[in-house]
Amino acid sequence: MKYVLLFVETEQFEKDFEAMSQADRDRASQLAYKWMADHADKIRGGSKLQSASTATTVRLDAGSEPLITDGPFVEGKEVVSGYTEVEVDDLDQVLNIVRTWPGCPIVEIRPIMEPAPAQS
């Protein structure tokens, strides 16, 4: 089964990370890289995202024309900062993997919809 892990940074996490010395930030990043390497056999893709300030949002429910705005899709104190796709046997297995995540404080786990089989 495939899942996407959405790594969510909070405002406080971002402030705490920025307040760290460069050496501490480097160590924290190395822990995340090690976590990725430890689970490489299950990881199928993913990436760190640029900051939310680089986002463009398209609202299709704003009337007859789409409303296009700069910035994240929600106003809030939590922002998706990256994602990873994993392939595991079941939700319990992905929960065990996520329990050891050393980075941002929130990880949203979402199953990936598999395409419907082609009809002949």
The domain tally of the chain equals: 1
Which positions ≥6 away from 54 have C-beta within 8 Å?
none
Q: pLDDT tens-digit profile of 8-67? A: 988 899 899 999 999 999 999 999 999 999 999 999 999 988 887 788 878 888 778 888
Q: Which structure tokens are listed for 13?
A: 């996490």
Question: What is the spatial distance between Cα 69 and Cα 76, in angstroms, rounded to a whole number?
Answer: 16
Whether 74 shows a pLDDT value over 80: the answer reads no
Q: Which domain holds residue 21?
A: 2-111
Whether 76 shows a pLDDT value over 70: the answer reads no
Say which CATH number the domain at 79 has: 3.30.70.1060
How would residue 120 be classed by pLDDT, with cut points 50, 70 and 90?
Answer: low
How would residue 73 be classed by pLDDT, with cut points 50, 70 and 90?
Answer: low
Residue 79: inside a domain, yes or no? Answer: yes
Residue 117: inside a domain, yes or no? Answer: no
